[in-house]
Amino acid sequence: MVAIFDPVHGTIEVNTAEIRIIDSRPFQRLRYIKQLGFAELAFPGASHSRYSHSLGAMHMATRMIDRALCAIDISQQDKNRLRQTVRLAMLLHDLGHPPLSHVSERVMPKVAELNLGSWIDNIERQATHEDYTLKLILHSELYDLIKTQAKDTGVEPEHIAALICGHAPANDKQAFVINSYDLLPLLTQIVSSEMDADRMDYLRRDAYACGVSYGNFDHQWLVSNVTAALYEGQYTLGLQHKGVWAFENFLLARLHMFLAIYYHHTTTCFEHMLGKFYETSDYQLPAHCEEYLNHDDIQLWMTLRSSNNPWAERIVQRRPYRLLVETHDFNEEQKYMVLDERLHHANIDFFRLRSQGVLSKYFRQCEQTFPLLVIEPEVGRISRIEEYTPLYRRFSDVVAVSRIFCLPEHIKQARAILGDPLLG
């Protein structure tokens, strides 16, 4: 075992096979992809990478799978295989992220160009970073490396891909069926779900890097209450009822991080300007693995610096538009339509951004996906999390922030228009 020292988790232990995978080009590329894109323009400490996040997420996933497997009667050999599969899936889950931010996904090709076959259902849609993650695991040098390094534990690259995309390999539907029970739902929930290792790392890591406390929650108590539960003949993620309040704390941490960090006005403004650069240039992300590995934050910044595109120049010279007004209720937007008209009439250069996201992408899918179950052993009861805690229902709502930005040289004139009592 090798020790990696991390500011969030302390010592993270990795084995020899994992070190060789970490040293590969696809994983090393993550050193040059910032976790929060443009956020460091508002929070100077937020220069951490998806490389460090991936290591931390693997550490949290290990703690979760170790707790969950305590509740399942399977052989030690099977436990070792499942544990290693989860660790590698979590380590590699962010491989496909594009440069700077999620906005760069808009210059990805159609997913059909990635040639992922049965791993993809709808080949007409645009590719996402998850698709590129599958591409790099299955079609890059990583494939043979995983086959070689993980052969002693029985882990296959297809098993890792299955945990990331959420369905078993087409040629190995029984990969996670042990003693007639399917463990795939449990394993995929640790990688991506309402209470996954990804969030457990990035909330604390992002809060640490940004110098805020919003993302902190009682991770020790939450993980110590993780378990596994049988649900319709399959094992799914469970939580002892004693840990529900820590789960609620976890939900609130995510809500506050969205409002304070992820939707910060500086970040959203620069992301919008990057999007405008993409719209007015021929910059595209390639479908081929070798070419994609050359695209990282450094490459994109070099492209922006060498471009005479006005949006690129504004980004490079750090000349953002200024925030004029912000509201947290889209229902109020009708009130500001008069403002939009006045700004247009005054020839003020402005744009309106609507930052919105569902805090729980799983809440509305709870009937189609495997739930997080609350276990009450004292009374012999198992409940779905949405039935157990009313706070969870709040997370079916949308976090909505509406903002108007204008050119700095127009800010005084725009504020005068905003202050016109006729707008009220």
Q: Distance between the two ends of the chain, CA-based, in angstroms?
A: 65
Q: Does residue 129 have an active-site annotation?
A: yes
For residue 411, the number of C-alpha atoms closer than 13 Å in the C-beta half-sphere is: 10
CB 192 within 8 A of CB 198: yes
Nearest Cα residue to 60 out of 96, 93, 20, 32: 93
Among the options 53, 59, 129, 264, which is catalytic? 129
- Decide: 139 and 309 in contact? Cβ < 8 Å: no
User: If 0-12 CB within 10 Å is exposed, 13-18 middle and 19+ buried, where does residue 333 land?
Assistant: middle
Nearest to 196 by CA among 58, 27, 84, 378: 58
Distances (CA, A) of 290 to 21, 223, 349, 407: 17, 38, 41, 40
Q: Which amino acid is at 132?
A: Y
Cβ(266)–Cβ(42) under 8 Å? yes
What amino acid positions are annotated as catalytic residues?
129
